[in-house]
Amino acid sequence: MKMNYKAELDYLVKVLKRMNMQVLVIPRGEKPESGVDLGLRKTLGVRTGFENTFSCPSGWAEERTVYKISDEFMCNYVFLLIPEGALLIGPYQTFEIRREQMLEIAERCGMPAVNFPHLESVYAAVPLLRDKTPLLSMITVLGESLWDDEEDNFHVIDVKQELSEPHDLIFDDNAEIEAEDIMARMKTMEARYAHENELLETVARGLTSRAELMLSRFSPKMLDRRSPDPLRNTKIYCTICNTLLRKAAEKGGVHPMHLDSSSSEFARRIEVIGTVDEGAELMLEMVRGYCRLVRDRATAGYSPFIRRCVAYIDANIAGDLSLSALAAIQNVNASYLSNQFRKEVGKTLTEYVTEGRMEMAARLLLTSSLQVQTVAQHCGMSDVNYFSKLFKKYYGATPRQYRAENRHYMP
């Protein structure tokens, strides 16, 4: 066994932790800490000598061998001996375990029915690895670094553990959850849902300051820990928050076109969160963003006719949005459209279209390197000189001046 494998091992550990995978290096002569299976067997109320299986050195494990273990509870591990002792990766799932399968496992182990919600929480914390190829490739590279002094340097063996017979399982007499614990859990959940509903109602009304205050009072203790990894837990709740806030803004009258755009952008940013603090900042941005959508884009008070007109304008800002064109699309009289639009929206159709185009122009100037004439075209204006004059009227600076003075404020 060679000793120049440390770089590969360190890289493997870093990558797998990024994937929310548990990686343990078990020193020689020691056993892994209790809960190596994320508390699955404890939740089921059974003990099967599981930790002895992964003790190092193990009586069954051989050198130059990678063991891919599928246990009796549909979890997977990778186990191999290394100079320091042993390397254990897992647990992880290769497919989504259905609720019915969990119920069958619970029944087979004699787990009290009142404990089942906790079993679901444990399984939710086990990472899902649908494609095992990257993991096995990294393990192969590590094995080649460990045992590269022979042509046939190591073996990969599949080990499948079947569920034990009932008399082989040792039941924990203290496994059943106390009634007080259940009541406390219920109260916490009720408080969380009440707080969520109040926050969503506030967002649906576009009340930014009040929504920010409510979010600042929100305690992480009100949430179930769905993953043992804090960063993954943060991403899970950011995703939940994004979905709930989107529905709140929809209730507030925002058209799905605007909701889809904002929701997709927030989903992209959730994926690249690097710290728990970044997640908290993003949740605050989401609250502000959806409140702003309600204030700026809500059409709940409009008639269906004007709502369709506004949605068409917002979706086709570069197109022909003249009064005559919009009237023809809606199959109504131009005078009727003009009067009705001003009555419901509070501004003329031309004013609304121009404001939308100027907002689009400002956004493109700050977020792209497009030439000014190209920006004008994307805003439905072919005359770049007229576009520049109109832009200066709205923002007090020409497009080029506006870009130069404000672009450094963008992230």
3-state secondary structure of 195: helix
Share of the chain above pLDDT 90, in %: 18
Model confidence at 280, pLDDT cuts 50, 70, 90, reads confident
Cβ–Cβ under 8 Å, residues 76 and 70: yes
Which residues make Cβ contacts (< 8 Å) with residue 361, sequence separation at least 6? 375, 376, 378, 379, 387, 391, 399
Please say whether the dihedral angle defined by the alpha carbons of residues 337, 341, 347 and 353, taken in this order, is positive or negative: negative
Which of the 8 DSSP states describes residue 254? B
Task: Lowest mean pLDDT of 21-25, 179-183, 237-241, 365-369, name the range.
Answer: 179-183
pLDDT at 173: 46
Cα-Cα end-to-end distance for the chain: 49
pLDDT at 51: 59
Q: What pTM was estimated for this model as a whole?
A: 0.46
Residue 402 has pLDDT above 80, yes or no: yes
Which residues make Cβ contacts (< 8 Å) with residue 52, sequence separation at least 6? 31
pLDDT tens profile 76-132: 999 888 888 888 998 998 887 887 888 888 888 888 877 787 788 788 778 878 778
CATH fold of the domain at 304-409: Arc Repressor Mutant, subunit A (1.10.10)
3-state secondary structure of 16: helix
Distance CA 44, CA 241 (A): 31
Helix H or strand E segment including 158: strand 155-160
pLDDT tens profile 41-57: 888 877 665 655 665 55
Which residues make Cβ contacts (< 8 Å) with residue 205, sequence separation at least 6? 252, 294
Distance CA 104, CA 122 (A): 16
Residue 257 has pLDDT above 90, yes or no: no
Any idea where the domains of the chain sit in the sequence? 6-171, 190-296, 304-409
